[in-house]
Amino acid sequence: MTPPKASTASPAYKSLLPEGAGQLLKLATPLPLDNGQALPDVTIAYESYGALNADKSNAILICHPLTADQFVASDHPVTGKPGWWATLIGPGKMIDTDTYFVICTNVLGGCMGSTGPSSVNPETGNPFALDFPVITLADMVRAQVAVIDALGIEMLHAVIGGSMGGMQVLEWAAGYGERVFAAAPIATAARHTPQNIAFHEVGRQAVMADPDWADGKYALTDQRPTKGLAVARMAAHVTYLSEQALNHKFGRDFQDRDAASFSFDADFKVESYLRHQGKSFVDRFDANSYLYITRAMDYFDLSRGEPLAARFVDTKTKFLLASFTSDWLYPTDESKRIVRALHGAGADVSFTEIESDKGHDAFLLDEPGFFDVLNGFVQSIGKARGLI
């Protein structure tokens, strides 16, 4: 296959993926969506590491969380920062790219090269904006299945991801279990709770309150809703950190001063940190993508109103679940709910709650307890299939 370049037909199109960076795959057929439509001309951007072996049995799919992207093990083309799981993935690392072919796709609806709300709507020649269809986690995974098909891979050795990535892992295991040898949904949940929805709705309203959002059509203007998106990021970021982590990192310490300024400056370190998180986020993320992806997460309920175990009947996939004690976004109880369902379906499942004070973000950070557990799983499934 010849990966097409991202379209640059319309001057209004502003993909955040720099021209020529990364790999792009144009899907051969329209993508069926949960809303009943079929989306034509879908492009999925992806990165891969290592080489696919002769019998195509060594492929590991990594699913990225909400605000990450396909640059999981290589430097980010916008920020220049190392891949978000570069500690785990690479030559000689836990997920050894001398052994495995690792692939990560930018989700459908994303802003790093995959088709999303900032892509050009062929009917108008302008970016879709809110004319882009509202998508679901299952839609995202359907796009990934098409990529895996295009690569000629029958069965994935493993699908691994944390947070929203874990939700995609669950959709893979529930919808395409016969193509998933092993699945590791980490720090995640099988549905969005009303509290999860509430925080996302705050973020969406912050974006939509920004006049520069222009009813979603900011690509046709010289502005982007950076202020609203920054506020959304700040609100979300608080949910990624535990109270303990905030106490350890910041406490009530002042930033660059000895006493209160009696002003609205960022007196406290935690304020300064949050403002920085908000400001830096807008350089690498698109506001409409943020709306669409958070919406997909809020719609996520793997059970579809039936007992959750019914989604895993006769599964042969080997599961690893891990949660973190201080994660209050997707707390351990949500993982336990999945584990109970998997047990109910007679699945091969291993579950560990990892002691950590780092909150939800622990799965992205240097957390040896998590590394040990994931490493054990990677070793075990590699041996089971004679790959190592």
Could you list the active site residues? 163, 327, 360
CB atoms < 10 A from the CB of 34, how many?
A: 15
Q: How far apart are CA 47 and CA 74, in angstroms?
A: 8
Q: Which of 2, 92, 264, 366 binds its own copies (CB under 8 A)?
A: 264
Closest to 345 in 3D by CA, of 318, 321, 319, 310: 310
CB closer to its own copies, 23 vs 272: 272
Residue 281, sorted as left (phi over 0), alpha (psi -120 to 50) or beta, turns out to be: alpha
Alpha helices for 151-225 (secondary structure H): 164-175, 194-209
Site size with its own copies, rule: CB under 8 A: 55
* Closest to its own copies by CB, 20 or 194: 194
**Interacting residue with its own copies among 38, 209, 313, 365 (CB under 8 A):** 209
In the complex with its own copies, which residue's Cβ is closer, 32 or 376? Answer: 32
Least distance in angstroms from the C-beta of 23 to its own copies = 30
CB-nearer residue toward its own copies: 273 or 377: 273
Q: Give the span between the Cα atoms of 75 and 265, in whole angstroms.
A: 34
Nearer CB in complex with its own copies: 295/360: 295
Distance of CA 38 to the CA centre of its chain: 23
Q: Which of residues 27-56 bind its own copies (CB under 8 A)?
A: 34-35
Region near its own copies per CB under 8 A, out of 4-12, 77-85, 96-104, 265-273: 265-273
Q: Please spell the DSSP secondary structure of 217-284, one letter per residue.
A: TGGGSS---HHHHHHHHHHHHHHHS-HHHHHHHTTT-BSSSSS--SSSS--BHHHHHHHHHHHHHTTT
Single residue of 64, 142, 157, 191 touching its own copies by CB under 8 A: 191
Backbone angles phi, psi at 308, to 5 degrees: -60, -35
Please report whether residue 197 would count as binding its own copies according to CB under 8 A.
yes
Tell me 5's DSSP state.
P
Backbone angles phi, psi at 91, to 5 degrees: -60, 125
Using rule CB under 8 A, residue 357 touches its own copies = no
Q: Which of 21, 274, 345, 373 contacts its own copies by CB under 8 A?
A: 274
Q: 47 with 103: CB under 8 angstroms?
A: yes
Q: CA 279 to CA 262: how far, in whole Å? A: 23
- Contact between 210 and its own copies (CB under 8 A)? yes
CB of 244 to its own copies, least distance (A): 10
CB nearer to its own copies: pick between 53 and 193: 193
Give least dist CB 332 to its own copies, A: 13
Q: Residue 222 interacts with its own copies (CB under 8 A)?
A: no
Tell me, residue by residue from 132 to 171, as one string, x for binding to its own copies by CB under 8 A and - for no binding: -xx-------------------------------------
Percent helix, strand and coil across the chain, each rounded to 5? 40, 15, 45
Verify binding: residue 268, its own copies, rule CB under 8 A: yes
**Which of 124, 195, 221, 223 lies at the binding interface for its own copies (CB under 8 A)?**
195
Asked if 96 is part of the footprint of its own copies (rule: CB under 8 A), the reply reads no
Q: Are 43 and 63 in contact (CB under 8 A)?
A: no
CA atoms within 13 A on the CB side of 85: 32
Question: Binding pattern to its own copies, positions 304-343, x when CB under 8 A?
Answer: ------------------------x---------------
Sites for its own copies among residues 276-305 (CB under 8 A): 278, 291, 295, 298-299, 301
Rounded to whole angstroms, the Cα distance separating 290 from 219 reads 15
Q: Token match 């959002």: residue?
A: 213
HSE on the CB side for 273, CA within 13 Å? 16
The site for its own copies (CB under 8 A) is made up of 34-35, 130, 133-134, 191-195, 197-199, 201-202, 204-206, 208-211, 227-228, 230-231, 234-235, 238, 241, 243, 246-247, 249-252, 260, 262-264, 266, 268-271, 274-275, 278, 291, 295, 298-299, 301, 328
